Amino acid sequence: MDLSFSPEERRFREEVQAFVATHLPEDVRRKVLGHQRLDRDDYVRWHRALQAKGWGAPAWPKAFGGAAWNAVQRVIFEVECGKAGAPRLLPFGLTMIGPVLMEFGSLEQQQRFLPRIPGVEDFWCQGYSEPGAGSDLASLKTRAVRKGDNYIVNGQKVWTTMAHWADWIFCLVRTDPQAKQQQGISMLLIDMKSPGVTVRPITTLDGGNDVNETWFEDVVVPVENLVGEENKGWTYAKYLLGHERTGIANIGHCHRELAQIKLYAREAHDAGGRPLLDDPRTRDKIILIEMDLMALEMLLLRLAAQGEGRPGPEASIVKIRGSELQQELARLQLELAGPHAWPYDPAWLEPGANQPVSGPAWASPAAATYFDMRKTTIYGGSTEVQKNIIAKMMLRF
């Protein structure tokens, strides 16, 4: 196995660098590098710039309008976009419901929904977790009852990220309450504008409202919006989660945050006026975290070198290390900011907001980033769940 880039891959990296440098909107780049909040339009503009280039769906086959990049190209693309300050591509359509529809959806669903995903003509969100069904997802209770040509849906979902912007939600529902937990679940595509759908914000530790609770009260969903077969939704859910967990590593974000940390360590000074980067302990921490990031990237490239295919238990390894690394990067940023990260005001993250009068501008979002990264070891399946998957499928315990 050769993990060095080929001449073609190096040329591809240069092409990505040049495109991002000329097509990423400058105001979006500043928000991302400044850890400020993005709005719906920021994501849409970046997606549509990529779509105009033919890069809107990097992993999709050409038959579905994708770029058909191999896994190595996708890693290169994510790293270079992350370093340059591009927003992460919205995963809900591209890497979650899109692959599910390609594999299990009807021809009508593929023709109706897939062409609208790369350019975010439809904004998607995910309806999986519930108040009593998070890591134990099979305990979900949102109910869908078949009545003629429709399902009537009642229940509640939580942690529906970006549901306040979404046009559609792919939702796990219980269609057979008498069956064993996993065997009575189906997947429905629900129009968020349907009567009876209510989205309520959940304020997270950083003061943001990007996650929500979503309520369904007698929501009418046409039968043609059932994905695959009734009561087979658990199969589709596992397939989707494999794709989601691989993406949670967020390798581009990690590269960007490491570069920011090195910059902060040069700008920040200790009580004696010396740059923090001159402190051996600070340098050690940066070097160790960079080694971890290199190891994660090598793991992704190693998986890429093994060929394409459905995500397996390796996705759980990537998810664990990627989410932990994001937390470690946020913790080190907070440490470098020191007292300038306190007190924290969520208003500082809004575009155009006045920064605090004392301390460097980069320090003001440090606490928010640290708070927000607490969630990474939970979403997409908690670290404990991922370790169970690894033990069962790889170690055979």
> pLDDT of 145-168, one tens digit each?
999 999 999 999 999 999 999 999
345: pLDDT strictly greater than 80: no
Give the residue numbers annotated as catalytic, written as ranges: 244
Check residue 247 and give its pLDDT. Answer: 62
Distance CA 52, CA 151 (A): 37
Q: Give the per-residue pLDDT at 297.
A: 86
| pLDDT at position 304 | 64
Distance CA 278, CA 328 (A): 21
Taking Cα atoms as reference points, which of 322, 319, 321, 335 lies closest to residue 370? 335
Q: At residue 305, does pLDDT exceed 90?
A: no
Top pLDDT among 98 and 134 is at 98
The predicted pLDDT at position 378 comes to: 81
Cα Dmax for the chain: 76
Domains of the chain by range and CATH?
Answer: 7-89 (1.10.540.10), 124-233 (2.40.110.10), 249-393 (1.20.140.10)
The string of pLDDT tens digits covering residues 71-89 is 889 989 999 999 999 999 9
Among 209-218, 226-235, 294-303, the least confident range: 294-303
- pTM to 2 decimal places: 0.88
Q: What angle do CA 172, 178, 184 make, to 5 degrees?
A: 25
CA separation for the pair 257, 250 (Å, rounded): 11
Mean local confidence (pLDDT), 184-189: 97
pLDDT above 90 as % of the chain = 60
Q: Which comes out higher in pLDDT, residue 363 or 19?
A: 19
70 contacts 24 by C-beta, under 8 angstroms: no
Entry field: residues in the chain: 397
The confidence score (pLDDT) of residue 343 equals 67
Residues 137-147: what's their mean pLDDT? 94
Quote the pLDDT of residue 1.
46
Residue 397 in this model has a pLDDT that exceeds 60: no
HEC string of the chain equals CCCCCCHHHHHHHHHHHHHHHHHCCHHHHHHHHCCCCCCHHHHHHHHHHHHHHCCCCCCCCHHHCCCCCCHHHHHHHHHHHHHHCCCCCCHHHHHHHHHHHHHHCCHHHHHHHHHHCCCCCCCEEEECCECCECCCHHHCCCEEEEECCEEEEEEEEECCCCCCCCCEEEEEEECCCCCCHHHHEEEEEEECCCCCEEEEEECCCCCCCCEEEEEEEEEEEEHHHECCCCCCHHHHHHHHHHHHHHHHCCHHHHHHHHHHHHHHHHHCECCCCCEHHHCHHHHHHHHHHHHHHHHHHHHHHHHHHCCCCCCCCHHHHHHHHHHHHHHHHHHHHHHHHHHHHCCCCHHHHCCCCCCCCCCCHHHCCHHHHHHHHHHHHCCCCCHHHHHHHHHHHCCCC
pLDDT, average across residues 308-330: 80
